[in-house]
C-alpha cells in the first residue's frame, strides 16, 4: 500500500495489500484520537482509538500510530479487503469539560479486486 496525506482524496490499493492512511492533526493539546470509517449514506463507524500517552495501538487487522512530536496519526490496515472500501476520517479530542471531536478532511479508500 502507499502512504498518503489527507489532502489527497483517494487511496487505491490492491486487495490483499496493506493500506496506510495518514492524518495531520491540528492541536497539540488533543489527548485522544479516533479513526472512523464511513460508508456512503451512513454515520461514522468506530475503528480504533488511541490516547496521547501511547504511540501505538493494535486491533484486529488495524494499527494506529501516533507521533505527537509532529502531530501525526496513521491508520494501517493489513490485508485490505473489498469491504474496507469507504471514507476514513481521523478525529481529535480536546480535553476539558466541553470536550468535543474535530474531524479531519477524510480520504476515500478504494480496494481493487
Asked whether position 88 contacts another protein by CB under 8 A, the answer is no
Asked whether position 102 contacts another protein by CB under 8 A, the answer is yes
Burial of 49 by CB count in 10 Å (0-12 exposed, 13-18 middle, 19+ buried)? Answer: middle
Asked whether position 57 contacts another protein by CB under 8 A, the answer is no
Q: How far is the CB of 45 from another protein (least distance, A)?
A: 7
What is the distance in angstroms between the CA of the first residue and the CA of the last residue of the chain? 14
Binding mask 9-38 for another protein (x = CB under 8 A): x------------------------x-x--
Backbone torsions φ then ψ of 45, nearest 5 degrees: -115, 125
Query: Which residue, 9 or 16, is less far from another protein as judged by CB?
Result: 9
Q: How far is the CB of 16 from another protein (least distance, A)?
A: 27
Rounded (5°) CA angle 55-74-24: 100
Burial of 78 by CB count in 10 Å (0-12 exposed, 13-18 middle, 19+ buried)? Answer: middle
Task: Figure out which of the listed residues 29, 42, 70, 113 binds another protein, where binding follows CB under 8 A.
Answer: 42
Asked whether position 44 contacts another protein by CB under 8 A, the answer is yes
Alpha carbons 56 and 74: distance in angstroms, whole number: 10
Residues within the interface to another protein (CB under 8 A): 9, 34, 36, 41-46, 89, 98, 100-106
Amino acid at each position: 500500500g502507499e502512504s498518503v496525506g489527507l489532502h489527497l482524496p483517494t487511496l487505491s490499493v490492491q486487495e490483499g495489500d496493506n493500506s496506510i492512511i495518514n492524518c495531520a492533526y491540528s492541536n497539540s493539546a488533543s489527548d485522544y484520537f479516533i479513526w472512523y470509517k464511513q460508508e456512503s449514506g451512513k454515520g461514522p463507524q468506530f475503528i480504533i482509538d488511541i490516547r496521547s500517552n501511547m504511540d501505538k495501538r493494535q486491533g484486529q487487522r488495524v494499527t494506529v500510530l501516533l507521533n505527537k512530536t509532529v502531530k501525526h496519526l496513521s491508520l494501517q490496515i493489513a490485508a485490505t479487503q473489498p469491504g474496507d472500501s469507504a471514507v476514513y476520517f481521523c478525529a481529535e479530542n480536546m480535553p476539558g469539560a466541553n470536550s468535543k471531536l474535530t474531524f479531519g478532511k477524510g480520504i476515500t479508500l478504494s480496494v481493487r479486486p
